[in-house]
Structure 1
Amino acid sequence: MIIKLMNQTFLSLAVAFLASTQVWSKNFAQHFGQDSTYQQHLNLRYGPAEGNGNLLDLYLPLTHSANTRLIIYVHGGSWKWGSKNDFPKILINNLTAKGYGVAAINYRLLREGKNRFPAQIEDLKNVIAFLTAQASTYGYNGNEFALLGVSAGAHLSLLYTYKHDAKKQIKTVIDIVGPTDLTDKVFRDNPTASGIINQFLGDVSPQAPIALEASPIYHLKKETGVPTIIFHGESDELVHVSQSKELYKKLQALGIRSQLELYPGETHEMRKSLFSIYTKLGVWLQQVYPAK
């Protein structure tokens, strides 16, 4: 969601995925394996936006079929930065080795007042429609999907699932440091967060109707909820951890299967906990969305 601008650069979980130390990467590869386990279809155009905004990459197991389930990756970057290329190939290897397909997507990014919300939700709708329609062409299950979102991408994943998934195709959401309530005073009192949200929504009022419309927690109901796992650092300086705690509290109250993984001392980038996140999301998928 919100990425702190420092020395003309920004840090995000998506960047952290790719910028981990060589030692960590070596250990991860030894644990999960690193041989290529997939075939790829790159830069498929799923929507009408110009440039790269409506492209996706599709990765399928070497042996895939109409039963192969897809995981859709939605990148982070304050709705302003990032791309489908942020998803680490080593995790694609791991997931495809287990029998999953992966679709890593771009969506339209904020650009000088352009592509404000709900452009990104419109893109997600087009992604789902495209992947549903193209299932027989590429060979996977186009009737159901999992969403894996990071930061801004987690926000979009939750909002799409809880508000816009009329066909109930999303079977689980993996939420990594995603904002859930864009009206929250604690969240909006953060100047960095508030500035980006104002650009995203085009309205500075926390209580504006569009802020409510864009907040996943207000659209979560018994009939719209799906199994949801949440990862968050307790020292997140940008998306306050209360955002995840409140979502988990509501999921539990509604009786929707959910899991909250908190990491003491971790900031928004979650750099020290990537291995734990990868491992736990793999276990979660096996439980609620097993590969077929």
Structure 2
Amino acid sequence: MKTRKIFYFIPIFLFFSFTSCSSDSENSNSTDFATEKTLLNVSYGSNSQQVFDLYLPANRSESSTKTLILIHGGGWVEGDKADFNYIISNLKTSLPNYAIANINYRLSTVGNPAFPMQINDITSVISKLKNSNYGISDDFGFIGASAGAHLSMLYGYGYNTDNNIKMVCSIVGPTNFTDENYLNDPTFNGLLDNVIGFSYEGNETQYQQLSPLFRATSTSPPTLMFYGNADPLIPTTQGIALDNRLTELSVYHEFNLYNGGHGDWSATDQIDSYNKLVAFINNKF
């Protein structure tokens, strides 16, 4: 059974160019907040996968500089922060006053399930950002792709105990592990058995607790969603169900459904999605 490619995000926004940045040492904490800095492979744990890249804008402030946290996809079992490198320079240009943290997290392996390990890693990243001398505030927003979008929504809805998560963007993220379109798919069930650590039968409540659809509340952060109407990995029901649920809860959100699959939309739709992302961040974060 081939399952390791399920939920692997196909990059969008590819029409934008990527330019490299110079990097500073991980230990370059300084009160010189007037200077732009790039810190690569900052460690937040003892595992080699527990690292992130941090892009700090010039003239940042501990009272006002917000941070976008990028969470890559890969079915919880693969992927890397490098998968999001293509968008870094464009976000820096479009949103010059925001810091950006592009994170890795520990990947699930057989006998080493994704949950709660990956949620714990996001908690550790946020703690590192809050407790280091980076010159940023305690306000964070998530941009997640595929499995990373699931982690973004799950954390933002179910683990935002300090109310530090102010917005969530889901790019083709699964929202409901109890969806019949998944329960009747043996490939999907085989994957979840590994990444969750147990099967659905007899564990329905636990599967709901890992589904953003069931964790959303009236205080959930504003949410931006992008989905494809022919996605072979994320059924249309996933986005539509969350759209309906957030409407019921009166949570501000925007739901976008494009023609195409797992992020492989037309150039026009890719441009539209990027513009909507920037507008959403400017308006809601």
Partner of 2:252: 257
For the structure 1 residues 114 and 36, does the alpha-carbon distance in structure 2 shift closer, same or farther, using more than 3 Å as the test?
closer
1:58 partner SS: strand
Cα distance in structure 1, aligned partners of 2:283 and 2:43: 32
- Structure 1 unaligned regions, length at least 5: none
- For the pair 1:220 / 2:216, whether they are aligned, the reply is yes
Partner of 2:80: 83
Q: Which moved more, 1:112-121 or 1:203-212?
A: 203-212
Cα distance in structure 2, aligned partners of 1:92 and 1:39: 14
Partner of 1:118: 116
Q: What is the aligned counterpart of 1:274 among 261, 270, 273?
A: 270
Write out aligned runs for 1:189-228 (5 A).
189-205=184-200, 208=203, 209-223=205-219, 225-228=220-223
1:174-195 per-residue CA deviation (whole Å, 9 max, x = no partner) reads 0011111111111222233222
Write out aligned runs for 1:53-132 (5 A).
53-66=49-62, 67-89=64-86, 91-97=87-93, 98=95, 99-132=97-130
For the structure 1 residues 10 and 240, does the alpha-carbon distance in structure 2 shift closer, same or farther, using more than 3 Å as the test?
closer
Cα distance in structure 2, aligned partners of 1:65 and 1:93: 21
Cα distance in structure 1, aligned partners of 2:109 and 2:20: 38
Q: CA deviation at 1:210?
A: 2.2
Q: CA deviation at 1:112?
A: 2.5
Letter in 1 for 2:74: G
1:256-284 per-residue CA deviation (whole Å, 9 max, x = no partner) reads 111000012x1113343433322210111
Q: TM-score, normalised by structure 1?
A: 0.83
Q: CA deviation at 1:138?
A: 1.7
For the structure 1 residues 35 and 110, does the alpha-carbon distance in structure 2 shift closer, same or farther, using more than 3 Å as the test?
closer
Q: Which moved more, 1:161-170 or 1:202-211?
A: 202-211
Q: CA deviation at 1:88?
A: 2.5
Q: What is the aligned-residue identity percentage?
A: 32
1:9-45 per-residue CA deviation (whole Å, 9 max, x = no partner) reads 77832x5359x5xxx3xxx34xxx9586953101111
The structure with the largest helix share of the pair is 1
- Structure 2 unaligned regions, length at least 5: 23-35
Cα distance in structure 1, aligned partners of 2:67 and 2:150: 19
Contact residue 60 and residue 96 of structure 1 kept, 8 A: no
Partner of 1:138: 134
Task: Give the total of aligned pairs.
Answer: 265
Where do 4+ consecutive residues of structure 1 move more than 4 Å?
33-38
Letter in 2 for 1:196: L
Partner of 1:155: 150
